[in-house]
Amino acid sequence: MWSFWKQKSPATCVASVIAFWLCLFLAAPVTAQASSSTSSPAVSYVNTLANQRADPHIFKHTDGWYYFTATVPAFDRIILRRAQSIQALSDAAETTIWRRKSSGVGSGQVWAPEIHFIDNKWYIYVALGVANEWRIRAFVLEASGANPLTSAWVEKGIIKTNWDTFSLDATTFTVNSTRYLVWAQQDPSRSGENSSLFIAPLQNPWTIRGTAVAISHPDLAWERIGYKVNEGASVIQRNGRIFMTYSASATDHNYCMGLLTASATANLMNPASWTKSRTPIFVSNTNTNQWGPGHNSFTLSEDGKSDLMVYHDRGYKDINGDPLNDPNRRTRVQKVYWKADGAPDFGIPVPDGNTPVRLRSAASSGLYVRYYTGNSVPSGAPALSDTQFRIVNPGLSGNGTISMESTSNPGVYLRRLNGNQVQFEPGRNLNTAASKASASFNRRPGLADGSGVSLEMSDVGGQYLRLQAGGVVTVSAVSSIAEQEQATFHLD
């Protein structure tokens, strides 16, 4: 949030399309839990989720509701929304639960609220400023009611850290029964830097215990573009490890995300327990036209089986004037995937529209349809985004078909050539009825497993997409059990 003016831009959210696709296309999803498997059911949302809402935080509560808060362009209030699905947050009514004051603490900036439920009470962590001063500090509000949108909020005050310097972006998590606070603060021992990440155990939700320690400084080149920043931390815990994302650099297209990792059994107050990724893990993407992604939070899908990342970015690179004055950061959501080694894979900021899926072979659990060029599949593991596809519904040839559009190369579609060959073709070349039909499929129940899906060519009945050993994609008739498995996919 030194990335002060974090805002969002528009989105066309079509919840009914999502529900339709989930029912017809997903059938019965795989049941592997995200916490213990590298695969989990596909999700389907429409980006952008919320216009001009930066630093988004979505909390899934035990009451079955999702609670959403974010920075508003005027930096003058704290808002909450709630809905029983993530997509419904897009159109949910917004309630203002706190407004900027006329003087003193809270009379200036109001940045990056987060909502948490701790010991049967609601808490909001937010950064508040003082009018006409550069004095921003992390602050806490508390509420006791069942519904935080209608509850009375009490100010617990500024979080007093070990230094009275610029501080913001507080978040909290629990490991082995100890609750910690992590926040961004200007380190008085490091002149010329804007903010580092600090951690301390909590005595209560608004009071740290003991002396905080810095676990990350903006000491890498990609963390020091425009501003020297580490901020906006968020934690997800899986596979015996703690993964802490954070954001770095200025709030233009250079804004990006880094990752800290620690063992869940380590001493988290020892900076040596944390390992920093030497390269950013989530960055702007020219192909998908997503710029300056960052300040994320984590939540769970409606069925509780898939981890999700909520973040903001812009839909354009070039900004007129000071990027701090640009209001069009927008809230987006996409699935978090898990690598075989237990680490998260965030991929790339996906294109606007429906979130993509992966097609996992029923014949081999680690084999996915992937984007590639030429006549042979490249060696080595593909990038996550090369295995993601947007289900275009209706397909290019209409009439109840679907088409498969590459996520890493939007506008490029999977199509059948003469015979059983398959290639990826730019949509501009699919300009005849025949060529569009060659890139369109009829979805069918999985030939080898009814909980999966099979893709039959729309222009040649009985010809199915098959993923063979080595990752080669072909189209052919299917007869044997092995061929049926190659023609059946589970959606991750």
Q: What is the pLDDT of residue 36?
A: 37
Give the Cα-Cα-Cα angle 106, 110, 115 (nearest 5 degrees). Answer: 105
Give the tens place of pLDDT for each residue, 448-491.
999 999 999 999 999 999 999 889 999 999 999 999 999 999 99
Taking residues 260-286, what's their average pLDDT?
98
**pLDDT at residue 323, rounded to an integer:** 83
Averaged over 198-227, what is the pLDDT?
98
Kindly report, residue by residue over 214-247, the tens digit of the pLDDT: 999 999 999 999 999 999 999 999 999 999 999 9
Question: Per the omega criterion (within 30 degrees of 0), is the bond before 48 cis?
Answer: yes
> What pLDDT, in 10s, does the model give residues 24-72?
333 322 222 233 357 899 999 999 999 999 999 999 999 999 999 999 9
- Summarised one tens digit per residue, pLDDT across range 390-442 is 999 999 999 899 999 999 999 999 999 988 899 999 999 999 999 999 999 99
Q: pLDDT band at residue 385, thresholds of 50, 70 and 90?
A: very high
* pLDDT at position 45: 98
Q: Tokens 């310097």 belong to which residue?
A: 165
Per-residue pLDDT averaged across 317-334, rounded?
Answer: 92
| 6 pLDDT tier (thresholds 50, 70, 90) | very low
Positions annotated as catalytic residues are 55, 231
Q: What is the pLDDT of residues 95-104, one digit of tens each?
A: 999 999 999 9
- Residue 3 clears pLDDT 90, i.e. is over it: no
pLDDT classification of 379: cutoffs 50, 70, 90: confident
Q: What is the distance of C-alpha 305 from the center of its chain?
A: 15
Q: Between the CA of residue 275 and those of 232, 240, 416, what are the distances in Å?
A: 17, 15, 46
Rounded to the nearest angstrom, the gap between the alpha carbon of residue 465 and the centroid of all alpha carbons in its chain is 30
Per-residue pLDDT at 324:
78
Phi, psi of 257 (to 5 degrees): -120, 140
pTM of the model: 0.92
What's the whole-number mean pLDDT along residues 234-262?
A: 98
